[in-house]
Structure 1
Amino acid sequence: MKKIGFVGTGVMGQHMIRNLMKQGYEVSVFTRTKEKAEPLLDEGAIWKGSVAEVARVSEAVITIVGFPSDVEEVYFGAEGIIENASKGTFFIDMTTSSPELAAEIASKAKSNGQVAWDAPVSGSDVFAEAGKLAIMVGGEEASFHHVRPILEAMGENVVLQGPAGAGQHTKMSNQIAIASTMMGVVEAITYAEKAGLDPAIVMESIEHGAAGSFSLSKLGKKMIAEDFAPGFYVKHFIKDMDIAIASADRLELFTPGLRLAKELFEGLKENGGENDGTQALYKYYKWKTEGLV
C-alpha cells in the first residue's frame, strides 16, 4: 500500500503526515480549513475537497479529528468514509474516541468488505514530529501486518491490544494515569515556589528520582517557563476524561483522581484556558492560590 488518505491536519496530524511522506507514502489530505493544510501541500501532500474524495482514492484512510461526533461524521453517512471507500480498504482511526464507537465502525466496515482499527496515540507534538508516538491498536489481528508498517512510520511503540475498541480502552488507561500525574506535577512545582525554592533547581533533583515522568520533565519545565502553547489542548483532554469517566461508569469503577482532575481542568476552561496546552493547569492552581478564581 502506498496511497494513504488522511483526514485531520491538526497539531498532531501535520507531523504524522510528514512522517508518512518521508517513508514514501502518497498522502491525500482533507481538513475543514484548507489553509491549515497549505504547508503540507507545499511539501507534497495532495489536497482533496471532501472526506468522500479522500476515501475514493486511498488504499488506507487515517483519521485524527477532535471529538467522537467528528469521528461519526467522517465515517458514517452518504458522504462518509465507509460508503465511499472501495472494498478491501483499511481504516485507521487515531482519534481518542469511545471504545463503543470504535467497535461500531469496525462492524460497519466489515459488513462493507473493509477493515477498521482504532489506534489512538500517546505523546505530544514533539513525539509526533519525531515519529516516536506510542500507538495503541484495537482490531482484527489476521490482517494487522498490512497496516503495521504505516503505523510504524508514525510511532515506535505499536501494540495490538485486542479486538476493536481495545485501543481506545488502552488510551483511557493512559489518560487516567496522566490526569492524576498532572495534578501532582502542578502541586509539586507550586509547593516548591511557595517554599521559596527555585523550581527549576528542584526539578533537577526530583525528575531523576521516583517522581520522574514525561509530565514532570517536559510539561513541568513548560510550566516554570510559563509556556502554555498547546502540544495537546485542554479542551481535548477534557473530552478524553469525559470518555474515560463514561467508560469507568459502565465498568462500575471508582475513579476519584480522574474526576477531580476533570473538575480542575473544567475550571481552567471556564477561565479562558480551553485552547491552552494541558500544562496550563499550573495557571489555574496559581489563580486558586491567589484567590483570583
Structure 2
Amino acid sequence: MGNEIRSVAFIGTGVMGAAMAGHLMDAGFELRVHNRTRSKAEPLVERGAVWCDSPGDAAEGADAVITMVGYPSDVEAAYLGDGGIIARASEGALLVDMTTSSPALAERVARAAGARGLASLDAPVSGGDVGARNATLTIMVGGDDDAFERATPLFSAMGKTVTLHGGPGAGQHCKMANQIAIAASMLGLAECLEYARQSGLDPEKVIATLSGGSAQSWTLQNYGPRVLAGDFAPGFYVKHFVKDLRIALASAEAMRADLPGTALAKRLYETLAANGGSELGTQAICLLYEDAAAREAQGVSVSATAAEAASC
C-alpha cells in the first residue's frame, strides 16, 4: 500500500460522525462504515458506502481508518480489542482517532499501532454539529509529521483549522484545553443571562450589545440565541461533556495542575446529567438558572442552587 489514501473506514456515524463521513464521500474517498446502531449509518450506505459488521471488518483493506466514537472505553475496544482495528488494519494503514479521549490512551494506541508498523494520529475536533455539517471543524492533532501530512486531504474535507501540536497525545491535550475553555464560557453565558433577567434587562438586547464588545465570544453569539429560543438540542451531549471534563481534570491532576473553576463546572454538569439533562446539549447548563417551568419542559429537575448544594 502506498501513501495515497483512496479508501477510508469510518467508525462512528453519530451526530457529528455522519456529517464528517459524508464530506469524505463528497471529496471522492471510498467509504467503509460501521456504527453500533446500523440505522444511523444507513444514509451513508444509501449513498454508496459499504457497511461493515465491526470496526475490525471496516479496517481490513482500508487505506485509512477514522474513529469518532463516544467514550475512551469505545476507543480502547475498537483499536486494542481482539480482532480490532490494530489487529486487522492493512499494512501501511493510517489510523486517526477523532474521538475526544484520554491523552494517555492516545499514547497507548500509538505504541500498539507502531508495533505493527502502522501510523496513528489523535485528532479530536471542536465546532460541534454545526462545524461538522459545514466542514468547518477545528482539528487538533497529535502524532508525527509524516502521518500528519498523509492525513491532510482527509482533514481538509472535514475541517477548516488543522494544527499539529506535537507527538501522540498532544491533540487530546489541546482538546482538553478547549473543553476547559468551553466549560468556563458556558458557565459565563448561563450566569450572564441569569443576571440580565434578574435585573430586568432584555436578554436579547444584552447578547447583541455584549457581542459588540470585549465580552464577545463564539458561545455567546451561537448559543445565547438558542438558549433564549428554548433550543437545547445537542450539538454536543451533556453526557459526553461530563466525560471530557472528567478526563481533563484527571489529566490535570496527573500533571499537578489545579483547576478549581473546571471542577465547579464538572460538578454542575454532572448534576445536570443525573437529573434529566444527559441527552441535552451543553448549553442546557443554562436551564439550571431558569425557573421550574422552563426546566421541567426539558425534563430537568434541579436548579443551580440545588446542584451546587448537592455537589458540596
TM-score by structure 1 length?
0.97
SS at match of 1:143: helix
Cα deviations by residue, 1:105-144 (Å, 9 ceiling, x for unpaired): 1111011010110000011100111100000000011332
Alignment correspondent of 2:165: 161
Alignment correspondent of 2:251: 247
Letter aligned with residue 58 of structure 1: A
Establish whether residue 67 from structure 1 lines up as the match of residue 71 from structure 2: yes
* Structural mapping, 1:5-154, within 5 Å: 5-154=9-158
Establish whether residue 273 from structure 1 lines up as the match of residue 288 from structure 2: no
| Distance across 1 between alignment mates of 2:225 and 2:134 | 20
| Distance across 2 between alignment mates of 1:254 and 1:136 | 23
Letter aligned with residue 60 of structure 1: A
| Distance across 2 between alignment mates of 1:143 and 1:72 | 21
How many Å apart are 1:212 and its aligned residue?
A: 1.1
Percent sequence identity over aligned pairs: 48
Match of 2:261 among 257, 261, 264: 257
Letter aligned with residue 57 of structure 1: G
Cα deviations by residue, 1:175-208 (Å, 9 ceiling, x for unpaired): 1111111110110011111111221111110012
Structure 2: give runs of 5+ residues left out of the alignment.
Answer: 291-301
TM-score by structure 2 length?
0.91
Letter aligned with residue 303 of structure 2: K
Establish whether residue 222 from structure 1 lines up as the match of residue 226 from structure 2: yes
Alignment correspondent of 2:7: 3
Cα deviations by residue, 1:21-56 (Å, 9 ceiling, x for unpaired): 111011110001111111121222221111111010
SS at match of 2:139: strand
How many Å apart are 1:285 and its aligned residue?
A: 2.0
CA contact (8 A) 2:268 2:304 kept: no
SS at match of 2:8: strand
| Distance across 2 between alignment mates of 1:170 and 1:111 | 25
Aligned pairs, number: 293
SS at match of 1:52: helix
Alignment correspondent of 2:294: none
| Distance across 2 between alignment mates of 1:85 and 1:74 | 11
How many Å apart are 1:290 and its aligned residue?
A: 8.5
How many Å apart are 1:57 and its aligned residue?
A: 2.2
Establish whether residue 288 from structure 1 lines up as the match of residue 298 from structure 2: no
| Distance across 1 between alignment mates of 2:261 and 2:205 | 28
How many Å apart are 1:4 and its aligned residue?
A: 0.3
